[in-house]
Amino acid sequence: MKIKYLILVLLTCMIAATLGCTSLGMNTIPMDKLKAKYADSESKIIQIDDMNIHYKDEGQGPVLILLHGVCASLHTWDGWTERLKGHYRIIRLDIPGFGLTGPAPDSSLYKIDGAVTLFEKIVDEMNLEKFYLAGNSLGGYISWKYTLKHPDKVEKLILVDSVGFPQELPGIIGLASNPVVRPFARHMMPRFLVDMCVNQVYGDKSKVTDELKDRYFELMMREGNKGGTIDVFTEFRRQCKDKNLSAGIKDLKPPTLVMWGTRDTWIPFKYFANWKTELPNAKFIQYEGAGHTPMEEIPDITARDADLFFSGKI
């Protein structure tokens, strides 16, 4: 373990002696309380493989499916939904392990093949023939892997700071998935670490509100989500150095737009160049000063660009 991570673990143990269980993320928040705050009249449940998957289905027009990244939830697409639902039927879901959906009953669903298979079942259950697809981070990884298998279903694809190439582990993922730390992290996710993650994924820290940090932390406290998050981190730890991680990217057939924040510290901006090499015919937009989740950080600009891409104007 790197020295800085060891120091962080020791600091966490020291803090544990003075803070309560809530600040250390050792408690869970009851589902009824989370639903009261984070579900609404647009919330729906689809039952797949013994899971109650939370999703929202809003708007009218061509179908657009949105997939979020690690530690996040469907709420990370609130800005896009508000701006685009007048022109698109927008479907967004809480990926298993996160949000109100909660943990998968089988950890194989956290592996990319299992995640893609699950998404296939969701698409089939919803009777969706063709649609636009956009994914961020882990959601981008699922999106392009699904598109490789079903190019006939995905009319256009947007990848936002997507997993796609071997890389170094982001700090918190490396720490929490470390074999020494992992058993404890499954039951304890300190508030200060979650807040740190939220700050890291934003390029402009002034846009990180208390409400935003509350949402990320409180949904992490759903029963089973800490363990699900660690399972996802552990799988990413296994895959991040895989030389075959990017296999198939160059074979993507639907028109593709790749978006990236220049201040992304989780999947650094240098990987944007890899996508340009593998997909020379795709469209590319970089967002100066934005971080890992530009669709959430700067929704006005990114939603506008998505609409222009889907409508064939760029």
Domain ranges of the chain: 19-310
Considering only CA atoms, which of 284, 292, 221 is closest in space to residue 76? 292
- Say whether domain 19-310 belongs to CATH 3.40.50.1820: yes
Residue 195 CA to residue 210 CA, distance in Å, equals: 9
pLDDT at position 223 is 96
Token pair recorded at residue 129: 């023939």
User: How do the pLDDT tens digits run along the chain, 314 residues long?
Assistant: 444 444 444 444 444 444 444 565 668 999 999 999 999 999 999 999 889 999 999 999 999 999 999 999 999 999 999 999 999 999 999 999 999 999 999 888 999 999 999 999 999 999 999 999 999 999 999 999 999 999 999 999 999 999 999 999 888 888 888 888 888 888 888 999 999 999 999 999 999 999 999 999 999 999 999 999 999 999 989 988 899 999 999 999 999 999 999 999 999 999 999 999 999 999 999 999 999 999 999 999 999 999 999 999 99
Q: What is the pTM of this model?
A: 0.92
Which residue matches tokens 């869970």? 28
